[in-house]
Amino acid sequence: MSLTGFLLAAVAQLSQEAACEPWQPLARDGLHDPEAAGVPMLQSPAEALSVLPRDTAGNKVDWVRALDTDAIDPRESLDDDTALEVLDTEIVMRDTSTLNWVLFPHRPHTQWLACENCHESPFVARAGANPINMGKILDGEYCGVCHGAVAFPLTECNRCHSVRPDSVSARDVETTDPGETR
């Protein structure tokens, strides 16, 4: 199968998984046992999530905006004294064939996640040091450890592939050499 054919097939499958209605009642979500006595006692997803900034994909909440607008204020750590270290740098990945380049922003990640979640596994902390590609991501490696699992889904191509190659010189970003990322 060609690369494009492979990607399209993988995306069609992901889209099917994403196509179910937002915020199914727990008893009808296919995950909870509708007969279980505890299910009616749980808060419904619609009640909990509909008050947050909306998104068009995944669980229909824009979690980055929810945090930035103080709609939520999660504890940074289970022990009160450990604060997260927010890092505000961006890395542009340019080995993207005809698609827009990928911009990886540290800020919206380090607002939720300590460095150890990503360094040195799955990512060596050096721009261009990781042989990332889309097939591996769709297989659940690299960005795919979280995206499509607990963060916005892989059907949202443009959210990662967000940098038009002709716009990059205007940005204060670190760029990786296309040859370095393989």
Among 176, 126, 119, residue whose Cα is nearest residue 145: 119
Nearest distance, CB of residue 37 and ligand HEC, angstroms: 33
Of 26, 163, 173, 176, which one interacts with ligand HEC (CB under 6 A)? Answer: 176
Interface with ligand HEC, residue 163, by CB under 6 A: no
What phi and psi, each to the nearest 5 degrees, are found at residue 101? -65, 160
Q: Where are the alpha helices (DSSP H) in the chain?
A: 3-18, 45-49, 63-68, 107-110, 134-138, 157-160
Judged by CB under 6 A, which stretch of 19-27, 28-36, 129-137, 165-173 contacts ligand HEC?
Answer: 129-137
Q: By C-beta, is 16 or 41 nearer to ligand HEC?
A: 16
Secondary structure letter of residue 91 according to DSSP:
E
Which DSSP string do the residues of 28-57 spell out, in sequence order? GSSSS-TT-TTGGGSPPHHHHHTTSPB-SS
- 133 is a contact residue toward ligand HEC (CB under 6 A): yes
Q: Which two tokens stand for residue 49?
A: 């999530």
Among positions 117, 140, 141, 168, the unique one binding ligand HEC when judged by CB under 6 A = 117
Does position 59 bind ligand HEC by CB under 6 A? no
- Structure-block tokens of residue 80: 């009160």
Where does this chain bind ligand HEC (CB under 6 A)?
A: 3, 7, 11, 63-64, 85, 87, 89, 91, 93-97, 99, 102, 104-106, 108-110, 112-113, 115, 117-119, 123, 125-130, 132-135, 137, 142-143, 145-147, 151-152, 154-157, 159-161, 174, 176, 181
